[in-house]
Structure 1
Amino acid sequence: MCTRIFWNDNPIAKTVARCMDWAVSDEPELWYVPAGQDRTGDAGPGSHTWVSQQASVVVSMWGIGTVDGLNSAGLAAHALYLDPADVSFPLPDERPVVAHTMWVQYLLDNFATVADAIAAVGDIRIVAPLLRGETFGVHIALEDTTGDSAIIEPLEGRMVVHHGPEYTVMANSPTLDQQIENLERYRPFGGELPPPGDITSPDRFVRAAYFLHYLPEPASVDEAVAGVFQLIANVSVPYGAPYADGGVYPTWWRAGADLTNRTYYFGSTRSPGIFWVDLPALAGRTEVLRLDPRDTSLVGDETSRLEPAALRY
């Protein structure tokens, strides 16, 4: 489950927020990964290898890959769940391989803009190894300091790219083209229906787009960040709230970024506070740093509390 919202039409700062919804905690850890790190696609034989060109602040899940983050160039990337029934990754070929759990990290390590990342989308092949014994579908959202945006979905054996500043909202299934078609049934997007209130992915998509449309211009960077966090809270799923099939997939955390000023924000839904990490303040640091983002004492600027650690994935 999950939702992503990008506010790119205000003159103060380009800001983004996303939530992480799942049946169990993804055991997030927050990392500062400097440039110059040797990395691998973690996909077995034929895995791509690279050296990170950008530093990044990222969130890992289950210690096996990166699910969200911001790099030093102001590019942000987010992996959201897409129903495996909707997903079809490219068939084997000669390209180097990257596991979908390392897709976000690959993008943040190697690219400075959305346009650069999209131009190279065919250079590697994304695969979906079993994750805790299950098959997970995934699609990716990207945005940068210019306000550019893209959604990448693996469909019918190819990467379908929706590229442009108009792609400001993403949720889960169905695919983005179907989400947009559904959105047109609602006002002010062409239809007459009022915004819906359920926790389903289509309803969250519409609600996110609706309230983003009406956000007033912020007077400060703080208001630009607070705006997307208010919206992502609106589409978050409270603990215990069931879907129609009885499944419960609450929001475990919310993260966001001020792309303009290179600041990454995080808030656990088990904590009353939000904290942030200032990427420019870490410029020149060459060691990997870590922070437990579920620590409920974290609030405000916590850049100084990151500590050296061995990267575990």
Structure 2
Amino acid sequence: MCTRIFWNDNPVAKTVARCMDWAVSDESELWYVPAGQQRSGDAGDGSHTWVSQHANVVVSMWGIGTVDGLNDAGLAAHALYLDPTDVSFPAPDQRPAVAHTMWVQYLLDNFATVAEAVAAVEGIRIVAPLLRGESFGVHIALEDSTGDSAIIEPIDGRMVVHHGSEFTVMANSPTLDQQLDNLSRYRPFGGELPPPGDITSQDRFVRASYFLHYLPEPTSLDEAVAGVVQLIANVSVPYGAPYADGGVYPTWWRSAADLTNRTYFFGSTRSPGIFWIDVPSLAGTTEILRLDPRDTSLVGDETSRLEPAALRY
């Protein structure tokens, strides 16, 4: 239902893209959150608290947490759905807790690199409160401007971390190790099967890996961003595409980030346009700012259209 693709081996810029696929709208809002904010893990008693060290541009879901974003150090983070049957969050202990809805925000607020974030994985406990009465599994993708990457998955009561620049693609269930095992059946990753074309998580993972492998070296920054944008469109789900159970899980939006130059891109699939936010130009801004990313008039650099607002979470 979501996919993430990281292009970290081209000489122009480290770029990443993801799509948000869901049965209903996530009611996305885009926020600029300056450093110095007093934050909470929103996990009830024993919640972790912190003062943010980095400004970031983030996208919220249902007004209750952050699902995607980029900070001023060039670290990006993405929350993707993982089937609850594949997930087992850590049991209660003495560590401060952070709700999975605040996991991305915690990472972007506190760390400048993937290595820093990975080193701090065991310092907090991630919990999974019900959302709209339902249980949601989550796993996290991280990448930074050096080309480093990590996938973090809560499995068997512990955080399983896949850390390294080779982890460039992520989808939904099954877990990453099983996705990689399946990938080895396809060419050019060890097997002889051609790339598949369905909208299932495993097929999207293979297709994203396949086309990323053959993406031509960019000759400009525009091409470095366009490369991941076209690949994430390839694994997005059009309106009306059914899964086996008859449900429809369309792509609501796609985001991208130029980690090298700190630019965050967003495109609603209900709009023909893509717009972006230039994070460095917001340096020194002390107000929380908001933009409605579902506004179909947004196109190009829309940094100046951010407006002061009260963050709801």
- TM-score with structure 1 length normalisation? 1.00
Distance in 1 separating the partners of 2:252 and 2:309: 24
Q: Secondary structure at the match of 1:161?
A: strand
Please tell me the residue identity of whatever aligns with 2:96.
P
Secondary structure of the equivalent of 2:181? helix
Q: Write the distance in 1 (CA, Å) between the matches of 2:92 and 2:269.
A: 40
Structure 2 unaligned regions, length at least 5: none
Deviation at 1:244, TM superposition (A): 1.3
Alignment partner of 1:125 is 2:122: no
Q: Matched residue of 2:142: which SS?
A: strand
Measure, in 1, the Cα distance between the counterparts of 2:69 and 2:260: 14
Query: Which residues of 2 match residues 34-113 of structure 1 at below 5 A?
Result: 34-113=34-113
Aligned equivalents of 2:167, 2:194: Cα separation in 1: 21
Could you tell me how far apart the structure 2 residues matched to 1:260 and 1:207 are? 26
TM-score w.r.t. the length of structure 2 is 1.00
Q: Which residue identity does 1:163 align to in structure 2?
A: H
1:258 maps to which residue? 258
Code of the aligned partner of 1:3? T
User: 1:247 offset after TM fit, Å?
Assistant: 1.4
Which runs of 4 or more aligned residues in structure 1 lie more than 3 Å from their structure 2 counterparts after TM superposition?
none
User: CA shift at 1:100, angstroms?
Assistant: 0.1
Correspondence list, 1:67-216, <5 A: 67-216=67-216
**How far apart, CA to CA, are the structure 2 residues paired with 1:204 and 1:34?**
35
Matched, 1:229 2:229: yes
- Alignment correspondent of 2:249: 249
Q: What are the ranges of 5 or more consecutive residues in structure 1 without an aligned counterpart?
A: none
Task: Report percent identity of matched pairs.
Answer: 88
Counterpart residue type for residue 91 of structure 1: A
Matched residue SS, 2:257: strand
CA distance in structure 1 between the aligned counterparts of 2:246 and 2:181, rounded to whole angstroms: 27
Deviations 1:116-171 (A, max 9, x none): 00000000000000001000000000000000000000000000000000000000
After superposition, what is the alpha-carbon deviation per residue over 1:31-85, rounded to whole angstroms, capped at 9, x for unaligned?
Answer: 0000000000001000000000000000000000000000000000000000000
Deviations 1:238-291 (A, max 9, x none): 011001121110000000100000000000000000000000000000000000
